[in-house]
């Protein structure tokens, strides 16, 4: 029996986001696994959860018993379905799948039933302050071979709002939700006029709108044939998806903020969204993600797992292996790797012609150079972009 010998959380920041990677060592010399536990806004809390709570619980246990370990960790804290504990659990869970693949001498996707496709289609982000800037970025990504492109003007919530603030307004990331909602159809009209309908376009609302304004936007963008409209509503407002679905045919994607099955289950079972896109480390790892993918397949809902810069290369590899094995794969978000990330994480998946490919090594095919990771320590700071405010200074959800 191969048992768990040690568990550590490794922190590094080779680019903008603070990354958390869990390493699980075993009783077999040289055999270890890696998993992503990145919660970039609360990275230190995740490290404590991994090393002070999960490690004492799991050292000495059979590393093969992934399902039992997941269920035990999930219930052990009594209170559950929170992002800190879910990320800690996810890091361990992914690492155990990595170990199992290494022991089997197979990539993880083989353990999930084998490939359904040979490459995974990606979407990239095209941002700019004006429609012309976004258009230029779209053409640049097209030249690189990308067929699916998310378009945003001025980031989430549109161009930052600097006017109409009251006296004594607190600092924050200000935006005008109504102005933003009016700007999106104009942006899409401009881009479609340039590239036509041969390229698939996406847009991320990032839960920035009130439900009635969100419904109006979903209807207004219908003529532009989006591949999907992402995170139209906040998790607290998911009941409104029934109203949106009843009034327009715009494809909908939802889920990056979800922690609990009680958030994604009704959207899938009632067929209120077309794509489910949880952050796999936030939902608890590969073990629950593969179950959700199967549940979604039954209801003709496709996957589009969260894949921004605050997912480590190990997390991206996990997304990729699940994407390869799921019949109901839809699309994969992709932020790309920096040169520093590739140095820290040997074995990174490769992009060619808009598709992502694994290296077909056992497990996730990834490694971590801890000496190089230590050259990029995490920088703690108080985040500004999640201190979002309306023009009158009201604090709202980011």
- What is the set of active-site residues? 156, 206
- Which of 366, 262, 272 is CA-nearest to residue 314? 366
Q: 3-state class of 372 per DSSP? A: helix
Give, in degrees to the nearest 5, the angle at Cα 9 between 365 and 277: 60
Q: What is the CA radius of gyration of the chain?
A: 21
Take residue 380 and report the two structure tokens written for it.
């703690």
- Which of 251, 248, 264 is CA-nearest to residue 123? 251
CA atoms of 362 and 105, how far apart (whole Å): 5
DSSP code of residue 165: P
> Is residue 193 a contact partner of residue 135, using CB atoms and an 8 Å limit?
no
CA atoms of 147 and 131, how far apart (whole Å): 19
DSSP code of residue 285: S
Q: Which residues of 113-136 are buried (b: 16+ CB within 10 A; e: fewer)?
A: eeeeeebbbbbbbbebeebeebbe
Q: Which residue has the tokens 């799921």?
A: 326
């Amino acid at each position: 029996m191969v048992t768990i010998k040690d568990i550590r959380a490794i922190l590094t920041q080779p680019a903008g986001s603070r990354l958390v990677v869990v390493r699980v060592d075993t009783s077999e010399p040289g055999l270890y696994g890696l998993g992503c536990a990145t919660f970039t806004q609360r990275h230190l809390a995740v490290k404590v959860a991994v090393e002070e709570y999960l490690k004492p619980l799991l050292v000495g246990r059979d590393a093969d018993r992934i399902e039992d370990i997941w269920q035990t960790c999930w219930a052990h804290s009594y209170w559950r379905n929170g992002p800190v504990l879910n990320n800690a659990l996810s890091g361990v869970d992914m690492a155990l799948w990595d170990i199992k693949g290494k022991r089997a001498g197979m990539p993880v996707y083989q353990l999930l039933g084998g490939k359904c496709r040979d490459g995974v289609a990606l979407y990239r982000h095209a941002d700019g302050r004006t429609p012309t800037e976004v258009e230029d970025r779209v053409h640049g990504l097209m030249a690189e071979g990308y067929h699916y492109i998310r378009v945003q003007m001025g980031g989430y919530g549109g161009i930052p709002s600097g006017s109409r603030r009251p006296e004594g307004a607190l600092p924050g990331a200000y935006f005008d939700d109504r102005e933003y909602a009016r700007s999106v159809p104009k942006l899409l009209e401009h881009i479609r006029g340039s590239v036509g309908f041969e390229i698939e376009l996406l847009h991320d609302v990032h839960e920035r709108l009130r439900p009635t304004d969100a419904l109006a936007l979903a209807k207004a963008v219908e003529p532009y044939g989006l591949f999907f409209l992402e995170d139209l509503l906040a998790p607290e407002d998911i009941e409104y998806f029934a109203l949106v679905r009843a009034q327009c045919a715009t494809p909908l994607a939802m889920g990056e903020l979800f922690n609990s099955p009680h958030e994604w289950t009704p959207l899938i079972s009632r067929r209120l969204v077309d794509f489910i896109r949880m952050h796999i480390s936030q939902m608890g790892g590969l073990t629950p993600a593969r179950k959700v993918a199967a549940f979604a397949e039954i209801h003709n809902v496709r996957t589009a797992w969260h894949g921004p810069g605050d997912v480590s290369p190990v997390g991206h590899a996990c997304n990729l292996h699940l994407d390869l094995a799921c019949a109901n794969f839809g699309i994969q978000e992709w932020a790309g790797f920096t040169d520093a990330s590739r140095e820290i994480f040997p074995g990174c998946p490769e992009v060619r012609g808009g598709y992502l490919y694994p290296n077909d090594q056992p497990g996730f095919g990834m490694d971590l150079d801890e000496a190089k990771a230590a050259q990029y320590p995490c920088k703690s700071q108080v985040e500004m972009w999640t201190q979002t405010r309306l023009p009158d200074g009201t604090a709202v959800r980011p």
